[in-house]
């Protein structure tokens, strides 16, 4: 019997350890350019652990932030985008990514009950398509003809290009968060029990 991507990830990946491998850069150690870059972050805030950790690679972070920002303000409907990101966070067992996007998902109209259903994958209609697409990209790194057809009924070409880039980007972010063991920010909660 084969497992789903989420089951495989759950079995293969431990919970986020409590000790970060690289600590966030304290405010008194930031260069003016690093602080200015952090101050430009609109999502999650300049003091979020993801940004204050990644700023230690300032040049890389300076190039990454516009791309990530573009995806958060892209062509996909915000609710669809957040379902895709949450399912990707779940599939990758990226608890930090999950916690941040629960907040963002709630701000774009996802209910608490909908968010709590993301791990189970129990959806219908187009939401089910989005969950299956996130799973398919996670498991196979491609989309089947049936998934493509379902997406093509709703999305235009720009959105069809953006969707796999979004899921792929959040795989990269998940790997980085998990590898660096970035700790949850105060006030955020991890995966549902």
pTM: 0.90
176: which residues sit within 8 A by CB, 6+ positions away?
A: 54
- Please check the confidence at residue 93 and state whether its pLDDT lies above 80: yes
Sign of the C-alpha dihedral, residues 110, 113, 114, 120? positive
- Per-residue pLDDT of 114-172, as tens digits, reads 999 999 988 999 999 999 999 999 999 999 999 999 999 999 999 999 999 999 999 99
Domains and CATH numbers, the chain: 19-72 (no CATH), 78-180 (1.20.1290.10)
Are 147 and 133 contacting, i.e. CB atoms less than 8 angstroms apart?
A: yes
Which of 129, 128, 72 minimizes the C-alpha distance to 105?
A: 72
């Amino acid at each position: 019997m084969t497992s789903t991507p989420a089951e495989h990830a759950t079995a293969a990946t431990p919970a986020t350890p409590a000790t970060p491998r690289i600590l966030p850069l304290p405010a008194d150690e930031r260069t003016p350019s690093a602080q200015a870059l952090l101050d430009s972050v609109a999502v999650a805030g300049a003091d979020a652990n993801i940004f204050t950790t990644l700023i230690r690679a300032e040049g890389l972070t300076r190039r990454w932030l516009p791309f990530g920002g573009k995806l958060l303000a892209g062509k996909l409907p915000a609710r669809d985008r957040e379902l895709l990101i949450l399912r990707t966070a779940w599939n990758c067992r990226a608890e930090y990514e999950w916690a941040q996007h629960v907040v963002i998902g709630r701000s774009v109209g996802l209910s608490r009950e909908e968010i709590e259903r993301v791990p189970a994958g129990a959806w219908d209609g187009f939401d089910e398509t989005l969950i299956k697409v996130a799973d398919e990209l996670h498991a196979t790194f491609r989309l089947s003809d049936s998934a493509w057809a379902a997406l093509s009924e709703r999305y235009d070409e720009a959105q069809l290009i953006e969707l796999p880039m979004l899921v792929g980007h959040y795989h990269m972010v998940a790997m980085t968060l998990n590898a660096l063991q970035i700790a949850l920010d105060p006030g955020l909660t991890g995966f549902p029990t």
